[in-house]
Amino acid sequence: MALAVISSVEELIDRYNINLTQLAFCIFIATIVFFGSLMTFLESHLPNSIRQSFRYGKHSHKGEADALISYLEVPKAWFKHFYIFAFGWSLLALYLLATSIANQTAAPEYALRFLDLVCGGPSNRKVQVDSTTALLGTVMLTLQCIRRFYETNFVQIFSKQSKMNLSHYAVGFVHYFGVIVSLLSNTAGFVRGSQPTEVTRKSFSQLHVIYLLVFLFAWHQQYASNMILVNLRKDAKTGAVKTEQHLLPKGGWFTLLSSPHMFFEVVIYFCLADLFTPVRTWKLVFLWVVSNQTINALLSHQWYKETFKDYPKRRRAILPYLL
């Protein structure tokens, strides 16, 4: 019975070219742009339920709480859960891709069928990415997931009072599920009837090298920015946690930006999206990351300016000297 239902769903997806991964990111983009615009221009006129649902962390809603929305909140420390998921999910994708390339064989049937189910059906998935590009992109995203797993589970200091809406928690899982699946959805060897291309030293182009270097720079600078935030809550001599308050960060890229870690998140995803340019899903991923990080950076910037009266005027929210 279950197999019959799955087969019917697969047939429906293939017939109508329903790409569930793209649909999810389209919903994310529309939601963040719509509610982000409301929060930016009309927040004072919005009900507390919307403001409380949208805001979290340092710029969380400080007014009267909505009882139902409060019931749907979870600790912000649960951020670490979807990085645990991303850690394992990205390693699985890297293993499948590396095995396929090493053996010069197509992906296992279960992987092909799964990708057909969530990425548009077998007749709609075409090879648009060679194995070299896919391998580089998967290694890059896996490195990002591993580092964020380490930071959120072993370094970052979450406030015990900080909450986020359950929707933010769910979006985190869907985001990493979607971006990692999209690494393979249109890759040689992971589309029915295709074989992986050979990966050699010569198959790496100058563009591959440039994006890898830009990624590694952004990857390191994001870590350095996150460590500045972590150290604000630690005693400089003992390393013990001295506060859970949000303090004024200084040094590094915080000289120019209120949220440099968000800026470097955009840079990281730009590198990936441009490597995977032919894949439509990655265009949606990049739009989603840009819109999400920009809205959150603007809210954080506003909070900093309201909280610290001597906040440096030269600092911008997310783009140096511009935004």
User: Is residue 200 in a domain?
Assistant: yes
What does the pLDDT average to over 148-177? 93
Name the percent of the chain lying above pLDDT 90.
71
**Token pair of 274 as six digits:** 């441009």
**3-state SS assignment for residue 241:** strand
Q: What is the pLDDT of residue 142?
A: 98
Strand pairing class (163-165; 73-75): antiparallel
> Does the pLDDT of residue 189 top 60, yes or no?
yes
Residue ranges of alpha helices (H) inside the chain are 2-15, 20-41, 48-54, 67-71, 79-103, 109-118, 131-150, 166-184, 206-232, 260-275, 280-307
Q: What is the DSSP string of 143-159?
A: HHHHHHHHIIIII----
CA–CA dist 314, 212 (Å, integer) = 30
Categorize the per-residue pLDDT at 13 as very low, low, confident or very high, splitting at 50, 70 and 90.
Answer: confident
Q: What is the pLDDT of residue 1?
A: 58
What does the pLDDT average to over 203-232? 96
234 has which bridge partners? 241
Q: Are 297 and 258 within 8 A, CB to CB? A: yes
CA–CA dist 138, 215 (Å, integer) = 12
> Does the pLDDT of residue 137 top 60, yes or no?
yes
User: Is residue 288 in a domain?
Assistant: yes
User: Is residue 134 in a domain?
Assistant: yes
Helices 260-275, 206-232: axis angle to 10 degrees equals 160
Average pLDDT, the chain: 92
Categorize the per-residue pLDDT at 9 as very low, low, confident or very high, splitting at 50, 70 and 90.
Answer: confident
Q: What is the pLDDT of residue 28?
A: 96
Spatial neighbors of 12 by CB under 8 A, at least 6 apart, are: 18
Q: What is the pLDDT of residue 16?
A: 63
Least confident of 7-11, 57-61, 175-179, 243-247: 7-11
Spatial neighbors of 95 by CB under 8 A, at least 6 apart, are: none
Least confident of 150-159, 219-228, 285-294: 150-159
CA 176, 178, 180 angle in degrees (round to 5)?
65
What does the pLDDT average to over 207-231? 97
User: Is residue 118 in a domain?
Assistant: yes
Per-residue pLDDT tens over the stretch 233-286: 998 888 888 888 889 999 999 999 999 999 999 999 999 999 999 999 999 999
Name the percent of the chain lying above pLDDT 70.
97
Q: What is the pLDDT of residue 261?
A: 97
CA 230, 298, 21 angle in degrees (round to 5)?
90
> Does the pLDDT of residue 187 top 90, yes or no?
yes
Q: What is the pLDDT of residue 162?
A: 87
User: Is residue 227 in a domain?
Assistant: yes
- What is the domain extent for residue 265? 2-307
CA–CA dist 214, 29 (Å, integer) = 25
Per-residue pLDDT tens over the stretch 220-243: 999 999 999 999 999 888 888 888
User: Is residue 317 in a domain?
Assistant: no
Spatial neighbors of 123 by CB under 8 A, at least 6 apart, are: 14
Instruction: Spell out the SS3 assignment of 98-137.
Output: HHHHHHCCCCCHHHHHHHHHHCCCCCCCCCCECHHHHHHH
Spatial neighbors of 110 by CB under 8 A, at least 6 apart, are: none
Q: What is the DSSP string of 172-197?
A: HHHHHHHHHHHHHTTBTTSSTT--PP
User: Is residue 245 in a domain?
Assistant: yes
316 has which bridge partners? 257
User: Is residue 190 in a domain?
Assistant: yes
Spatial neighbors of 24 by CB under 8 A, at least 6 apart, are: 174, 178
Residue 314's Cβ-side half-sphere holds a number of Cα atoms within 13 Å equal to 5
Q: What is the pLDDT of residue 2?
A: 57
> Does the pLDDT of residue 317 top 70, yes or no?
yes
Residue 288, number of CB atoms within 10 A of its CB: 25
Number of domains within the chain:
1
CA–CA dist 300, 314 (Å, integer) = 15
